[in-house]
Amino acid sequence: MSRIIKAAGLFVLLLTFAPVWGATGVAFVHGTGKQTNALNDYWTTSMVNSVRQGLSNQNNFVVINCDFEQYMWDSQAAGCLASHLHNFINQRGITDLVVLTHSNGGNVMRWIMSNPTWDSRYPLIIQRLRWVNALAPSSLGTPLADAVMQGNVFEASLGWLLGYQNDAVRMQQTSWMQHYNNTWLLGTAGRPNLPKGFWNVVGTDVHAAIWNTASYCGGYQYQVGLAVTQWWLSSCSDGFLECSSQNGAGSLWFYDHWRTQSGRKLSHHQSRRNCFNLDVILRNDL
């Protein structure tokens, strides 16, 4: 209901200032990893092209490529993201920015939103931001990061997704994220609210049965890997993050099966793919 109220308020604002209101744009912000071609390697062109159909000008989109193997505040992480978003806003005349993040990308965005005096580019980004749609954000960290840092190895099931013992993985240990959430970051329980909406899409399970057609969206091999790592997590998880972590900051938008096609569950890999009508839901939100 609160999201409906916020959307209604934005619509009224648009009507009130229609003569001077500028362009809506969308930014796709990847998760953990050093990306040089996030369009093809992280999101896929089919996902991005489907979502951006919701824009009045479908050219007003940007796919971010940054080094998110670093701590969230690092110049190669938040600094790189801020540079891309700031340039996108100025070059395209964006006055209404929707950011789609996935996984650890949510932490980097929350850093920017929580620390406006850290970088001179942050205030403009926050000002132009409508809201963040956070797909499976790792807001409270994950026990899998603890396991990786303790030397447990997941070559077959986790290396493609998380990597090993880099600073971003270190940062996403549960106790480390608890510290950051209590000090540097806004939006978690007991902390001030974020300056703009941070809306969570929570993935709740992994389909990996060979006879289940839902297991093949995005690649069956990834589902099998996430089914293995899910054993380390609580019963409600997407194979990488527990539901409590995904909804640990900001506000709940929806649990996957509330809105996906046929009530399908989204694994951590599938929540960055055009699986089960997710792309259409995100498109319509623009």
266 Rama sector, left if φ>0, alpha if ψ -120 to 50, beta otherwise: beta
**Spatial contact of 25 and 96, defined as CB atoms under 8 Å apart:** yes
- Which residues 6+ apart lie within 8 Å of 78 measured at CB? 72, 108, 111, 112, 118, 119
CA 135 to chain centre: 4
Q: Kindly give the residue spans of alpha helices, DSSP state H, lying in 141-201.
A: 143-149, 167-171, 174-183
Q: In what order do the strands lie in the sheet with 251-255?
A: 61-63, 23-29, 94-102, 129-135, 197-202, 251-255
Judge whether residue 20 has pLDDT over 50.
no
Asked whether the beta carbons of 119 and 88 are under 8 A apart, the reply is no
In this predicted model, what pLDDT tens digit does every residue of 233-276 receive, in sequence order?
A: 999 999 999 999 999 999 999 999 999 999 999 999 999 999 99
Return the CATH superfamily for domain 2-6+23-285: Alpha/Beta hydrolase fold, catalytic domain (3.40.50.1820)
Q: For 4-115, list the strands marked E by DSSP.
A: 23-29, 61-63, 94-102
Tens-digit pLDDT profile for residues 126-172: 999 999 999 999 999 999 988 888 876 554 455 556 666 799 999 99
Average pLDDT over residues 193-198: 98
The Cα–Cα gap between 103 and 101 comes to: 7
pLDDT tens for 88-134 read: 999 999 999 999 999 999 999 999 999 999 999 999 999 999 999 99
- Specify whether the CB–CB gap between 240 and 103 falls below 8 A: yes
CB 188 within 8 A of CB 134: no
pLDDT of 178 over the 80 cut: yes
- Distance CA(237)–CA(220), nearest Å, equals 18
pLDDT of residue 11 exceeding 60, the answer is: no
Q: Please choose, from the candidates 1, 18, 27, 9, the residue with its C-alpha nearest in 3D space to the C-alpha of residue 282.
A: 27
Give the count of alpha carbons within 13 A of 215, CB side only: 13
> How do the domains of the chain map onto residue ranges?
2-6+23-285
What is the residue-wise DSSP string for 33-59? SB-S-HIIIII-HHHHHHHGGGSSSTT
| φ, ψ for residue 63, nearest 5 deg | -110, 120
Global pTM reads: 0.92
